[in-house]
C-alpha cells in the first residue's frame, strides 16, 4: 500500500495570508496519537506538492506547536524528513540575511535577517528529545517555522523599503480573503477560533 494520499482523502489543506490561524499562537502538543501522525504525513505531502522545504501546523489550520522540514523538497528523500514537536530556541548567535518565501504568502520573496546559528530543543513524534545546534539553511528554516507557531510571518521582519515593496501583493491577498468571506467561501473568525479551541482540547 502506498503512503501517498489522494487529495480527496486529505483532512488538511494549506491556508494563505491573511487567514487568522496564521496569527494564532499554537499550543504545546501533549498527546501524540495516530491522528497526529496522519497530520504530519499530510503536512509533508502538501509541502512537497507546493515545493516547500518547511511547513508549520498553523499553515494547515492546526493549533499545535509542530512543524516539518525537508531541505531537499524531494518526496523521495524520506531520510531527510525532520519533524519538530514543541520546538524551542535556547541560544542564538550571529546574524545573517537571506531571501525567504512562504507557502502561506505565494509570490512574496524578500530578504530576512535571522540568527546565523541556533541551539534548539524539540521532540520527535516518538518522544525523543532533540538537542541540536543548527546553522545554514536548516537554522533559517527552523526560525521561519518557529515564527509561524507564534503567529509571526516572515514579512513581519522586513526593512521599511522591502515592506513597502511587498505591500501591494499583501493587499491583493487581503482583498481576495475579504471577498471570500463576503461570499461565504471562507469561515468567519468566530468559527475559525471555535474550531482551533476544539482541536486544542483534543491534544494540548
Ligand atoms: Zn512560512
**pLDDT tens-place string over residues 32-47:** 999 999 999 999 999 9
Q: In sequence order, which residues have a C-beta less than 8 Å from that of residue 134 and are 6 or more positions away?
A: 117, 118, 119, 120, 142
The pTM for the full model equals: 0.94
Coil, strand or helix: which one is 161? helix
Centroid of ligand 1 to alpha carbon of 184 (angstroms): 26
- What is the structure's pLDDT at 2? 46
What is the average per-residue pLDDT within 159-183? 95
What is the average per-residue pLDDT within 97-116? 96
Centroid of ligand 1 to alpha carbon of 79 (angstroms): 22
Q: What percent of the chain has pLDDT over 70?
A: 96
145 annotated active-site: yes
Say yes or no to pLDDT of 30 above 60.
Answer: yes
Centroid of ligand 1 to alpha carbon of 139 (angstroms): 14
Q: What percent of the chain has pLDDT over 90?
A: 92
Say yes or no to pLDDT of 68 above 70.
Answer: yes
- What is the structure's pLDDT at 73? 97
pLDDT tens digits for range 177-204: 999 999 999 999 999 999 999 999 988 8
70 — alpha (psi -120 to 50), left (phi > 0) or beta?
beta
Centroid of ligand 1 to alpha carbon of 1 (angstroms): 31
| 194 CB neighbour count, 10 Å cutoff | 11
Say yes or no to pLDDT of 64 above 50.
Answer: yes
What is the average per-residue pLDDT within 69-79? 97
What is the average per-residue pLDDT within 22-31? 96
Binned at pLDDT 50, 70 and 90, residue 6 comes out as low
Domain at 7-202: CATH architecture:
Alpha-Beta Complex (3.90)
Say yes or no to pLDDT of 62 above 50.
Answer: yes
Give yes or no for a contact between 147 and 153, defined as CB atoms under 8 angstroms apart: yes
H or E element, residue 112: strand 110-114
Centroid of ligand 1 to alpha carbon of 153 (angstroms): 7
Catalytic residue among 145, 162, 176, 190: 145
- What is the structure's pLDDT at 1? 44
Say yes or no to pLDDT of 4 above 80.
Answer: no
Is residue 135 classed exposed, middle or buried when 0-12, 13-18 and 19+ CB atoms within 10 A define those classes?
middle
**Phi and psi at residue 112, in whole multiples of 5°?**
-130, 135
H or E element, residue 106: none
How far apart are alpha carbons 96 and 155 in whole angstroms? 16
pLDDT tens digits for range 125-135: 999 999 999 99
Amino acid at each position: 500500500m502506498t503512503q501517498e494520499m489522494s487529495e480527496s482523502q486529505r483532512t488538511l489543506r494549506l491556508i494563505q495570508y491573511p487567514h487568522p490561524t496564521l496569527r494564532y499562537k499554537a499550543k504545546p502538543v501533549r498527546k501524540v496519537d495516530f491522528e497526529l501522525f496522519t497530520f504530519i504525513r499530510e503536512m509533508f505531502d502538501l509541502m512537497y506538492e507546493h515545493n516547500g522545504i518547511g511547513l508549520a501546523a498553523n499553515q494547515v489550520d492546526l493549533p499545535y506547536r509542530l512543524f516539518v522540514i525537508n531541505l531537499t523538497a524531494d518526496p523521495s528523500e524520506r531520510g531527510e524528513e525532520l519533524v519538530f514537536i514543541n520546538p524551542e530556541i535556547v541560544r542564538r548567535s550571529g546574524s545573517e540575511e537571506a531571501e525567504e518565501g512562504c507557502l502561506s504568502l505565494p509570490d512574496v520573496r524578500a530578504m530576512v535577517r535571522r540568527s546565523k546559528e541556533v541551539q534548539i530543543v524539540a521532540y520527535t513524534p516518538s518522544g525523543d528529545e532533540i538537542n541540536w545546534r543548527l546553522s545554514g539553511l536548516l537554522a533559517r528554516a527552523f526560525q521561519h517555522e518557529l515564527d509561524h507557531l507564534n503567529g509571526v510571518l516572515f514579512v513581519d521582519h522586513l526593512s521599511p523599503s522591502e515592506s513597502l515593496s511587498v505591500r501591494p501583493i499583501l493587499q491583493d491577498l487581503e482583498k481576495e480573503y475579504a471577498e471570500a468571506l463576503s461570499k461565504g467561501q471562507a469561515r468567519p473568525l468566530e468559527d475559525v477560533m471555535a474550531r482551533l479551541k476544539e482541536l486544542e482540547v483534543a491534544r494540548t
